[in-house]
């Protein structure tokens, strides 16, 4: 009896592509194990001698394959409870026909619709395909297993000359990604954890998934252990089995936002509001680095360069009264925006330690606020603004 079992994803462990031998007779035998894959291997020999120099042999080829194997065609991913057609192909590289029994192996992770097995005839140098239908019941990576076995049943091949390799079999196992039904939703919860011994360094261990709505973070500080419970929201219409939760502990309040400075530092562009949205983070990054006494010359140089560019750019959207609007004087029928002007004045004031800011410009913008201030001290919304 022959038995061949294979996994769809292979790890080629035997691939010694180069051999070195020192010989005198001109002949050498180099044993090697052919990797478990169906392909053609091409090789040649290169030799060197003191008398004749270098020599290269003509290439020689070797086609490695299994004489009988099964394969299946699966989609990349499916939805749970979806009916999935599984096309199973049997290949016969021998010279005679084979009566083959095909079966899809049962699993608790999927149901088989219809018969789980069937017969087909595969003649020499030919293939045959049969389709099974399965219904996925579990979420995640589900292994689908197919087995093909040569059986003694000449009637299937209508009297053709049969192969004598009865009992030879092949099994293929392939993973299929099963996704939950419905639309994905993601919720982020941020919170501060203050330990009872803040003067001692502590490390948080892997979080424990207590229930659908509760995570417990266990932290240790020497001999002291504390638990911190984090309640998760109760989403409506949750698809059973689709919930996932991840916890990340950072020992710096600003750490998550400033992990990658390059994502916060951007060259200002676009209309006035878009320019200021890119301008402001450069200021806050520099102030944060100063607050923690961290010197990052590359980040500082880039932030200052971006601020200088943004400063010059946003001045193009100023009106005669030094108020600002999304498109400046290109829309003369619209006055400056109270909200946008206030944001520009705030950012320009914060940027003064890093770049040159014309103080007369700030004074004119402040005069714009004073002229529009109500008697009760409030500042009304003047004109309009667009969220970038």
At 258-284, the pLDDT tens digits run 666 667 777 887 888 888 988 998 998
Shared-domain flag, residues 76 and 170: yes
Shared-domain flag, residues 109 and 138: yes
Shared-domain flag, residues 152 and 91: yes
Ranked by mean pLDDT, the top range of 21-30, 43-52, 185-194, 379-388 is 43-52
Shared-domain flag, residues 241 and 276: no
115's tokens: 């018969």
Quick one: which of 88, 38, 33, 93 has its CA closest to 63? 38
Quick one: which of 368, 367, 291, 374 has its CA closest to 325? 368
CATH number, domain of 274, equals 1.50.10.20
Which residues is 179 bridged to in the sheet?
Answer: 79
Shared-domain flag, residues 125 and 72: yes
Shared-domain flag, residues 316 and 365: yes
Is 53's pLDDT higher than 90?
Answer: no
Quick one: which of 84, 86, 107, 78 has its CA closest to 180? 78
Shared-domain flag, residues 227 and 145: no
* Spatial separation of the C-alpha atoms in residues 152 and 129, rounded to whole Å: 19
Cα-only R_g, the chain: 36
Instruction: Write the CB contacts of 27 (distance below 8 Å, at least 6 apart in sequence).
Output: none
Q: Which domain holds residue 311?
A: 261-372
Shared-domain flag, residues 163 and 217: no
How many domains does one find in the chain? 3
Tell me the average pLDDT of the chain.
Answer: 79
pLDDT of residue 74: 94
Shared-domain flag, residues 223 and 155: no
* Spatial separation of the C-alpha atoms in residues 316 and 347, rounded to whole Å: 16
CA 167 to chain CA centroid, Å, is 43
Instruction: Write the CB contacts of 321 (distance below 8 Å, at least 6 apart in sequence).
Output: 336, 364, 367, 368, 371
Choice among 24-28, 96-100, 321-325 with the minimum mean pLDDT:
24-28
Choice among 82-96, 144-158, 269-283, 349-363 with the minimum mean pLDDT:
269-283
Q: Render pLDDT for 15-51 as a digit per residue (tens, 0 to 9).
A: 455 555 566 666 777 777 776 667 788 888 888 878 8
| Reduced 3-state DSSP string for 127-174 | EEEEEEEEEECCCEEEEEEEEEEEECCHHHHCCCCECCCCCCEEEEEE
Shared-domain flag, residues 162 and 200: no
CATH number, domain of 85, equals 2.60.40.10
Domain presence at residue 21: no
Domain presence at residue 32: no
Domain presence at residue 274: yes
Between 268 and 11, name the one with better pLDDT.
268
pLDDT of residue 14: 47
């Amino acid at each position: 009896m022959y038995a061949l079992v294979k996994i769809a994803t292979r790890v080629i462990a035997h691939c010694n592509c180069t051999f070195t031998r020192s010989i005198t007779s001109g002949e050498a035998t180099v044993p090697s194990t052919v990797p478990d894959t169906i392909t053609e291997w091409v090789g040649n020999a290169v030799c060197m001698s003191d008398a004749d120099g270098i020599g290269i042999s003509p290439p020689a080829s070797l086609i490695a394959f299994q004489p009988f194997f099964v394969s299946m065609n699966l989609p990349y991913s499916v939805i749970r409870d979806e009916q999935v057609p599984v096309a199973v192909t049997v290949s016969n590289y021998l010279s005679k026909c084979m009566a083959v029994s095909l079966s899809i192996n049962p699993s608790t992770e999927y149901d088989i619709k219809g018969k789980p097995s069937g017969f087909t005839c595969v003649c020499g140098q030919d293939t045959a395909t049969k389709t099974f239908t399965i219904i996925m019941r579990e979420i995640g990576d589900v292994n689908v297993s197919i087995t093909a076995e040569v059986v003694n049943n000449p009637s299937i091949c209508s009297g053709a000359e049969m192969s004598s390799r009865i009992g030879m079999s092949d099994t293929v196992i392939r993973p299929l990604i099963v996704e939950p039904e419905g639309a994905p939703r993601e919720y982020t919860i941020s919170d501060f954890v203050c330990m009872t011994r803040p003067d001692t360094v502590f490390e948080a261990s892997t979080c424990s998934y207590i229930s659908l709505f509760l995570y417990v973070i266990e932290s240790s500080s020497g001999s002291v252990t504390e638990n911190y419970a984090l309640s998760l929201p109760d989403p409506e219409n949750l698809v059973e089995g689709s919930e996932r939760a991840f916890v990340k502990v950072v020992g710096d309040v600003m750490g998550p936002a400033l992990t990658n400075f390059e994502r916060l530092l951007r060259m200002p562009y676009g209309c006035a509001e878009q320019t200021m949205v890119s301008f402001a983070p450069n200021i806050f990054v520099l102030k944060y680095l100063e607050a923690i006494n961290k010197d990052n010359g590359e980040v500082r140089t880039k932030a200052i360069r971006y601020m200088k560019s943004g400063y010059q750019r946003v001045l193009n959207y100023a009106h005669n009264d030094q108020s600002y609007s999304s498109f400046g004087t290109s829309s003369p029928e619209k006055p400056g925006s109270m909200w946008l002007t206030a944001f520009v004045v705030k950012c320009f004031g914060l940027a003064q330690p890093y770049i040159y800011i014309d103080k007369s410009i700030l004074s004119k913008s402040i005069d714009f606020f004073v002229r529009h201030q109500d008697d009760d001290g409030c500042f009304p919304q003047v004109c309009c603004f667009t969220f970038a």
